[in-house]
Amino acid sequence: MAKNVAGTAGDAGVCVVGGGVIGLTSAIVLAENGYRVRLLTRDAAGETTSAVAGALCWPYRIQPYEDAVRWSLRSFEVLAGLAEQPAETGARMVAGLMAEVPADPGADGLAAWYDAVPGMRRARPDELPEGYGSGRRACTPLVDMPAHLRYLEQRLAVAGGIVERRAVASLAEAGRGARTVVNCSGLGARELVPDPQVHPVQGQLVIVENPGIDTWLATADSAAAETAYVLPQPFGVVLGGTARENAWSREPDPAVAEAIVARCARFFPALARARVLAHRVGLRPARPAVRLTAERLPDGTRCVHNYGHGGAGVTVAWGCADEVLRLVREGDTAQGPTGVPAVR
């Protein structure tokens, strides 16, 4: 891991708003490339929506697909590397099946993903669950998010980044004293920007004791309000899930939990008898399309927006962080060392 490089880009202070996986990865990439980084977050990383994520590396409920696939492939590369140290990073490479992928590889916008992921192939008929006509098998990163978030926090600290636990009322407030603000506020961008296009997609899941499952399985209908996924983690099996638009409650619904277990038990009958360890609800920060752009705030501070990743935050985080670095560097090129426009 690279430490902060004084005297180069580190002279330009950057404030990152948001302490989930998007904010942490953005802050890390900036800090490891020489920027002096301060991250502001209302919640500890373990209390963010990222901590509840199923965290299978696969583009899900995110637009635009062309960019999402590019960001996802970069994140795949990074997470696959981190999977060489699973105990430290929380990332592992796990084989599994995505059921009901369209037979036409371009029908869902993910053809480039299917072509680029190493070893991905069409599932044979005997590998498909009853009632499913197509699917893809692959070995992909699957991330234990509590462990991964701890790793990201430690990596940011090593790179010289500073984390401050406090809420901010505006991006201008966050950027006070900084040369650039990076807005990774997720669902908070609805009020902070403000951006009324940001809305929650509620996801409920159940964690049960593992009855011996060592592969993941998921169904691919990103338009459905109810989905099924089975993700074996070191702490148990994560069963999901739901995708309810504009639902704000973070309280688990017992009837929904029962239905989740029943859906997943269709694929792995032993799950019907597995002991329930926990219930979780997270609010995915959805938007018609990810906002990953730069602009000037009214007070003149440069702001890079990086939010609206829906259900794919973990999947695209590292790719988006690279894009954040590019946009911050572009801003530095357009400014002199004091922040005034550079002479061209």
Q: Where are the domains of the chain?
A: 1-94+140-198+288-344
Which tokens in the block code for residue 306?
Answer: 């990086």
Please name the amino acid found at residue 121: R
Which tokens in the block code for residue 267?
Answer: 């694929």
Residue 199 near residue 284, CB atoms below 8 Å: no
What's the pLDDT score for residue 251?
97
Phi first, then psi, for residue 267 (nearest 5°) are -90, -35
Looking at domain 1-94+140-198+288-344, its CATH class is alpha beta
Query: What is the reported pTM?
Result: 0.92
DSSP assignments along 23-40, one per residue? HHHHHHHHHHTT-EEEEE
What's the pLDDT score for residue 305?
98
Q: pLDDT tens across 220-249, in order?
A: 776 678 999 999 999 999 999 999 999 999
Of 43-52, 72-81, 268-277, the least confident: 43-52
Instruction: Kindly indicate the confidence band of residue 106, based on its pLDDT and cuts at 50, 70 and 90.
Output: low
